[in-house]
Amino acid sequence: MLTEEQRAIQDMALDFAMAEMAPHAMRWDAEKIFPTDVLRELAKLGFAGVYVREEYGGSGLSRLEAALVFEALSAGCTSTAAFLTIHNMASWMIDSFGNESQRAKFVPPLMQMDLMASYCLTEPGSGSDAAAMRSRAQRDGDHYVLNGSKAFISGAGYSDLYVAMVRTGDEGAGGVSCFLIEKDTPGLSFGANERKMGWNSQPTAQVIFEDCRVPAENLLGAEGDGFKFAMKGLDGGRLNIAACSLGTAQRAFDKALTYAGEREQFGNRISEFQAIQFKLADMATELQAARLMLYDAARALDANDPERTKRSAMAKRFVTDAGFNVANEALQIHGGYGYLQDYEVERMVRDLRVHQILEGTNEIMRVIIARHLLNS
């Protein structure tokens, strides 16, 4: 059960999504527009730091309430809402693990989206095996000199701050550190914008370090803390992206339900055919199961439950698979029209596909779940 306040938060997000995002999402996708003006309007509602503490301008809400917000916003535009989740995760990491000076410098402008943040973990040669990263930082006086690259980075070239995991020590997870890299840092550059199947309202590119000199004061935490920070961030990041899957799939379902009640074939509305009725029944059931699993995992993270990592992985695996399946079935119900951009469902299918890959592939989610089951 949600409280009255939680419902009000979600309603506010949904109202904004329907008024300011949904009418433009098709154009953003087609023309590959990154709607920074809309993101800054979302920041005014407190959505740039949903679970960042209030001391430096965050909203101080729970992970459950964050899931409600991102679920609602993704009904308007999946990829724009997804970028906002990444900005939230990066901002939370600075708020949670940064020192007082770092929080004071970076968090307030991040909360207004005067600064936008990207998260840099994946590399060209290390995707699922994140601990095998090759990017390296070498201490040089009061700076670190970074060399290497990061792949598939949302916001690359547009964001003002990059929360990057780079190796400072030995091989393995314990040798990874976290750096806050400002866009104008010497030696920082970006690859060409990737041509993607979906998520076209946010740019994606490589982040490249070539003798990139980062002040030592921009090390987040201590040397060797980076992988630990990354994994803690991903517990919440996985719920955020699951929430985006859920909200998008719900929107696709709603469109399919309406269409089935309007489209006539063989002298009847297609909603009168049992084949369509069964599809709709299964889709609604999957959505309800996904919602319950997501909210339960978010509550576990809020409560610092010992099984929070396993439950986040379970929710991410189940909800993103279910979300894609529901959207794909919504397209099928639309028939040939579902394949046309004018009906929007095809964009939802394209956008949702990557949710089964990022924040840890769903195969890696199974690895995490199995590890917890067998080692408990």
Please list the active-site residues.
Answer: 359
Contact 330, 253 (CB under 8 A): yes
Contact 302, 63 (CB under 8 A): yes
Residues 6+ apart with CB under 8 A from 84: 39, 42, 47, 48, 70, 73
**CA-to-CA distance for 87 and 102, rounded, in angstroms?**
16
Return the ∠ at Cα 240 (arms to 88 and 37), rounded to 5°: 45
Q: How many residues does the chain have?
A: 376
Residues 6+ apart with CB under 8 A from 375: none
Contact 188, 119 (CB under 8 A): no
**CA-to-CA distance for 228 and 243, rounded, in angstroms?**
23
Residue of 13, 19, 12 lying closest to 72 (CA atoms): 13
Contact 118, 151 (CB under 8 A): no
> Which phi-psi region, left, alpha or beta, contains residue 152 (left: φ > 0; alpha: ψ -120 to 50)?
left
Sign of torsion over alpha carbons 122, 125, 131, 134 = negative
**CA-to-CA distance for 248 and 42, rounded, in angstroms?**
18
**CA-to-CA distance for 173 and 131, rounded, in angstroms?**
5
**CA-to-CA distance for 168 and 218, rounded, in angstroms?**
14
**CA-to-CA distance for 364 and 139, rounded, in angstroms?**
33
